[in-house]
Amino acid sequence: MELMLSAIKPTGDLTLGNYIGAIKNFVKLQDDYNLFVFVADLHALTVRNNKEDLNRWIKEVAAIYIACGLDPNKATIFNQSDLPQHAYLGYILTCESYMGELSRMTQFKDKSARGNNESIGVGLFIYPTLMAADILLYDAKYVPVGEDQTQHVELTRDLASRFNHYYGETFVIPKAIVAEKGARIMALDDPLKKMSKSELGDNKGSIRLLDDVKTIRKKIMSAVTDSDNLVKYDIENKPGISNLMTIYSSLTNKSYDEIEDEFRDGGYGNFKKAVADVVVEEVSKIQVKFNEIIKGDYLDKVLKEGALKAGAIASKKIDEVKRKLGLII
Ligand code: TYM
């Protein structure tokens, strides 16, 4: 089976965007690929966190993977910082990268456009080279991600080709897999902005997978829409309704045409209520499993086993890279 790899950064409570854009696809793909999925906790260090929050988020990501249906007997699930090989290859790939290409990475570009470069952390600047290491360490052929991560996979491809060119065939060139639908779920309070886990506080724009049912309903019922009361998919002119349609469609597998027919006479109130119903149904199932998994030491066991399996592959790759570079092994 071909190797497929992806990860989530524990920088907040996971959202419906993470679920629809990423986790739900991992679950679907685990039967057909040798799937590696990890918690990208080193990536979380590019921003300053309170250690209790970070610790909780790390466990939360791992537990949510399993609660959403990832099966540790099929997929290899681990925590990035358990394997020093990631940071090791990250350093080597940083040495292969150019200031210019890293300056063009959206996250850094956005932040530097907003303020003073002097105080942007270097970790944020080189974050994409660590992500490249995450992927190349395992010779992953496919990387399922939401739309915002495709630029990083492109950089990974460039770095892999560059390394192969200078030091001989070493890395598999990976390919991003972006779902046709749901690769960019937008914020409910501002459908021009991506739904994000990193906003703290009450975050009306994001449905958190661990939000209580009442909060979820409230957030969906007060989602920002236009006022023409017509349920129609039109991303340009009706971004709010189109976003809700994408959510509904992703969770029910109904097409946009079917949804338009279903709510032709119902107006926005009925439609929002239907969206809330399917989200609540899906999220409730996840929460029940999550609450079981987070107790006891099952999660520790899964992560340890995952790290052992991933570590064996990663160490071999590091040896190969060292040999290619002329470092002594
Ligand atoms: P992160 O933690 O920001 O997001 C995790 C995954 O969720 C997707 N996603 C979304 N999809 C649809 N709509 C949204 N609103 C939405 N928000 C997030 C992301 O595209 C992603 O697939 N750098 C990565 C983590 C990472 C990684 C890797 C991924 C580290 N190493 C190696 C793949 C391979 C990140 O910050 O994702």
pLDDT in tens, 257-309: 999 999 998 899 999 999 999 999 999 999 999 999 999 899 999 999 999 99
Residues 244 and 312 both lie in one domain: no
Complete DSSP assignment for 168-226: -S-S---EEE--SSSSSPBPSS-TTSB--S---TT-TT--BTTS-HHHHHHHHHT----
CATH number at residue 17: 3.40.50.620
Distance 156 CA to ligand 1 centre (A): 15
pLDDT at 199 over 80: no
Q: Are residues 52 and 113 in the same domain?
A: yes
* Residue 96 structure tokens: 């292969």
Give a yes or no: residue 228 inside a domain: yes
- 194 CB near ligand 1 (under 6 Å): yes
Tokens describing residue 104: 């063009």
CA of 9 relative to ligand 1 center, distance in Å = 7
Q: If you take atom 14 of ligand 1, which residue's CA is the nearest one?
A: 17
Domain limits for position 243: 213-291
Lowest-confidence segment of 105-109, 205-209, 297-301, 323-327 by average pLDDT: 105-109
pLDDT digits (tens, 9 = 90+) for 6-43: 999 999 999 999 999 999 999 999 999 999 999 999 99
Kindly indicate the confidence band of residue 219, based on its pLDDT and cuts at 50, 70 and 90: very high
- Model pTM greater than 0.75? yes
DSSP 8-state code for residue 38: E
- Asked if residue 169 and residue 106 are part of one domain, the reply reads yes
Q: Which residues are catalytic?
A: 111, 194, 197
- For residues 174 and 241, membership in a common domain is answered with no
Distance between CA atoms of residues 202 and 181, nearest Å: 27
Sheet of strand 175-177, all strands in order from the earlier edge strand to the far edge: 76-79, 34-39, 3-8, 142-144, 175-177
Q: Are residues 130 and 225 in the same domain?
A: no
Rounded to whole angstroms, the Cα distance separating 15 from 321 reads 37
Compute the mean pLDDT over every residue in the chain, rounded to the nearest whole number.
96
What is the chain's percent helix, strand, coil content, to nearest 5? 55, 10, 35
Give me the mean pLDDT over the 160-180 stretch: 97
Pocket test for ligand 1, best of 11, 13, 18, 143 (most atoms within 8 A of CB): 18
Which CATH number does the domain housing residue 238 bear? Answer: 1.10.240.10
pLDDT value for 215: 97
17 shares its domain with 126: yes
Question: Does 286 lie in the same domain as 310?
Answer: no
178 and 230, same domain (yes or no): no
Q: What per-residue confidence (pLDDT) applies to 206?
A: 96
Confidence of residue 102 (pLDDT cuts 50, 70, 90): very high
CB neighbour class for 296 (10 Å; exposed up to 12, middle 13-18, buried from 19): exposed
321 lines ligand 1 (CB under 6 A): no
Tokens for 112, please give them. Answer: 């530097």
